[in-house]
Structure 1
């Protein structure tokens, strides 16, 4: 145990710009930090820091100890987490990634509610405009909306969600009500840029007929709330998820276009790195999400 404390102490110094900054992080005096460092060097018979440099600079041996020590500390923490999890099943860290809009409106409240039920679980929620691009950061759960491209991740269904093409009453009054998706090629459209996808190709189906329309967006943005606002203000036609525009369609702020044509569904899914062997906190969070949305998604109530 003492060895892991020494390694943690050394890692704090390595992450700091100076011994003074390290002492502040550790809650110790600079002299106490220096004394403890000297004790470690004496015990190991190795010089860990080059004190002749103006800035903190570790020796080769010090760098080696930090590198291997960080791995050992991570393994030790994982071991303790596993032991605690065997006891209660609801402890440890849970890292979640979700898209900005859906994450703010639906995932964030669900995360807070889950953590309230299980206060020993530490949850870190990250919102991103490109969650599928940043998945390499090893999140425990990634919330994704829409088609899942080629991926090694495991998909867990959370909720059904359609896509609609919409415009405001003011836009329709100015440009007329388009009767066919082909009309989109000559009308101002608004595109949402996300996950490095081709956002200018809108795919429609009706019965057995398929239709691909290439729009030329007058406006585009990487934030769904912005393009929705632009559409409500009459700047163009948008294609948006049902979860985002259901309220606007209900109160008449937006009007659905081409109701006889269907766009690809954009179902809500949760992605994990494996199906088996997930920690209890992850399994129960996925179950909690499904209970929140699957029976009757809030955007359909």
Structure 2
């Protein structure tokens, strides 16, 4: 007989790339995962996972259990939430996904307040700059910065956020400034590798309708936005960075905006939920907490 604990356990395996990764996500040791998986297969009388290589590959029976198990888990969560709603409370488990730097600065504090205000909610916050690689079934609310490509998701715009081309005053004093986007090919640029985007193609537009794209050849690159900002402040090169990340540096004079007559595509802060969870009271309430935390917009509060 299957239990809700079994469904939770196997969902963790189905979402992971390996049994070791599943063990980390479930907070247990790899031998414990292997032993419990063997016990589950023995009770069901079928093989659920192919064990060739390091990657997790589900059998047809494993795929069925993962899919139906998720549906049953969602139904149980919905039932729990409905019963809690009759008592006037928000309850259940909330899984939140957010970008690494922005999540630390803005989502984590909101999550902490949400947890403190709702005694019957458990919350799991995952910070990742590879959101496109995280399965939709593994989160209830996701915070995204930039263009939203999947129109099937229920989206809420939380705050405006520009992308800004900037460098330190020391860099400008030593190397000068570009007069047009094409000039960036002659300057040291720094790339932030995130969200599987084409990070070396920088696209600009003007209010008069002119548009120009330039392929930069970065001498420095990293997947950490804070490192990119620190390199720019230290005079290592020119960056394109979200307004939320560099607004304080611009106000303090540690960074200077370049090419003010040109603008980059905006990167608004968006919260979204999967279509099946669009009516979840805890997800809806948490999005309200996020909107309240970003109103007024923190990075524009002193502008």
SS at match of 1:88: coil
- Kindly indicate whether the alpha-carbon contact (under 8 Å) linking 1:163 and 1:265 is maintained by their aligned counterparts in 2: yes
CA distance in 2, matches of 1:244, 1:268: 12
SS at match of 1:248: helix
2:262 corresponds to 1:261: yes
**Structure 1, unpaired ranges of 5+:** 16-24, 26-53
CA distance in 2, matches of 1:197, 1:274: 25
CA distance in 2, matches of 1:55, 1:89: 35
CA distance in 2, matches of 1:213, 1:13: 48
Structure number with bigger Rg: 1
1:245–1:108 CA distance, 2 compared to 1 (3 A): same
Query: Which residue of the partner structure matches residue 181 of structure 1?
Result: 181
RMSD across aligned positions (CA): 3.3
CA distance in 1, matches of 2:91, 2:151: 29
Q: TM-score scaled by structure 1?
A: 0.76
CA distance in 2, matches of 1:90, 1:83: 10
The more displaced of 254-263 and 274-283 is 274-283
2:130 corresponds to 1:130: yes
Query: Which residue of the partner structure matches residue 96 of structure 1?
Result: 96
Query: Which residue of the partner structure matches residue 167 of structure 2?
Result: 167
Query: Which residue of the partner structure matches residue 106 of structure 1?
Result: 106
1:94–1:169 CA distance, 2 compared to 1 (3 A): same
Shift of residue 193 of structure 1?
0.7
Shift of residue 13 of structure 1?
11
SS at match of 2:219: strand
1:213–1:83 CA distance, 2 compared to 1 (3 A): same
Aligned length: 260
- Kindly indicate whether the alpha-carbon contact (under 8 Å) linking 1:161 and 1:243 is maintained by their aligned counterparts in 2: yes
For 1:63, which of 44, 65, 68 is the aligned residue? 44
- Kindly indicate whether the alpha-carbon contact (under 8 Å) linking 1:249 and 1:256 is maintained by their aligned counterparts in 2: yes
1:55–1:187 CA distance, 2 compared to 1 (3 A): closer
- Kindly indicate whether the alpha-carbon contact (under 8 Å) linking 1:154 and 1:275 is maintained by their aligned counterparts in 2: no
CA distance in 2, matches of 1:158, 1:12: 31
